[in-house]
Amino acid sequence: MRRLLCIVLLLAAPALLYGKTTPKAIEQELVRDVKRLRYWADYDGADARLSPEDSLTRANERLRRHLLYYTTTEPATLSYAFAVLQQEGMTITTAPDGRLRIYSWDTQTGGTMHYFDNVVQFRAGARVGARRLTTPLPGANPDAGHSYFDIFTVQRGAQTFYLAYGQAIYSTHDCYQQVRAFTIENGQLNADAKLIRTQSGLRNTLGFSFDFFSVVDRPERPVRLISYEARARVLAIPVVWSDGKVTDRRIRYAFNGTVFVKQL
C-alpha cells in the first residue's frame, strides 16, 4: 500500500523529485520527456513484447502532464527562456507583454501529416494558469493542431487581445496558417475570443491553406506569410490561388477599435 501511495504521489507531483524546484531543474525534466518521446518515435527494436505506439502515447501524456503541472504551479516558468528545451524541438512563443505563452510540440504520431499539441500558459493577476489547447487524435480529429511561433497583441479599451500565429502541416505540401484570438478574462483564458469579421461572420481565427512548395525557396522557417503592422493595427494575409500557389497580393484586415474588418 505504501509503495502504491509513493507511485501516485510521484506521478501527481513531479516537483517532489527535486525538493525545491528551480526553472533549470524543470527544464531538465522536460528535456528528458522530449527525448523519451523521440526515442519511442524512432524505436526500431525487435522486442515483440514492446509496443512503440503505446509507449509513444504514454511519453506524450507524460510530457503534457509535467508541462501542465509546472506551468500552473511555478510562476517563474512564464518568463524562463527554456533555451535547451527549444533546442530539443519544443516551440515556445511569448506575447510582448509577457502575460501569455504557448508551448507547441510535434507528438511524432503522424507521418507526412504532423500532429501538434499545445499548452497555453497565462498570467491572471498574481497567479499563473495553464490549459491544453488542442486534442490531436490521429485518424479521428480532422484538425491536426498548429505549431504556434508568434503572438501579436491589440488593445480594445483596457482589454488585451492576443493573436497567436501558427501553422498546421497536413502533408509534405499541404499546409495551413492562421491567427487565433485569445483573451484573459476573469482570471481564465478565453481561447475563443471573437475578434475578426469575415464574410461568414464574427470569427475567432483568420487563416488560409497553401502549397508549401510555392514558397519553399523563402529562407525563413517556418515561412511567415501573415504579417501584422502593430502601429496601424492591420493584419495582412496573402492571396492564394485555388491550386495553393501563394501570390504577392495581400488581403488586409484593419482593427476598427472593436474588431478586425477587411479593407476594401
Residues 67 and 184 grouped into a single domain: no
Give the span between the Cα atoms of 188 and 79, in whole angstroms.
19
Helix (H, G, I), strand (E, B) or coil at 203: strand
Give me the pLDDT at residue 153, please. Answer: 98
* Residues with Cβ within 8 Å of residue 213, at least 6 apart in sequence: 173
Give the span between the Cα atoms of 237 and 32, in whole angstroms.
38
Of 89, 124, 159, at which residue does a domain stop? 89
Of 54, 89, 124, at which residue does a domain stop? 89
Residues 98 and 8 grouped into a single domain: no
Domain that holds residue 21: 1-89
Residues 60 and 171 grouped into a single domain: no
Residues 76 and 113 grouped into a single domain: no
Which residues does residue 261 pair with via DSSP β-bridges, in sequence order? 197, 254
Residues 77 and 119 grouped into a single domain: no
Residues 97 and 196 grouped into a single domain: yes
Q: How many domains does the chain have?
A: 2
Of 62, 89, 116, at which residue does a domain stop? 89
Ordered mean pLDDT values, 10 residues apiece, the chain (264 residues): 47 50 96 96 77 93 98 97 98 98 96 94 96 63 83 97 97 96 96 95 96 97 97 98 98 98 93
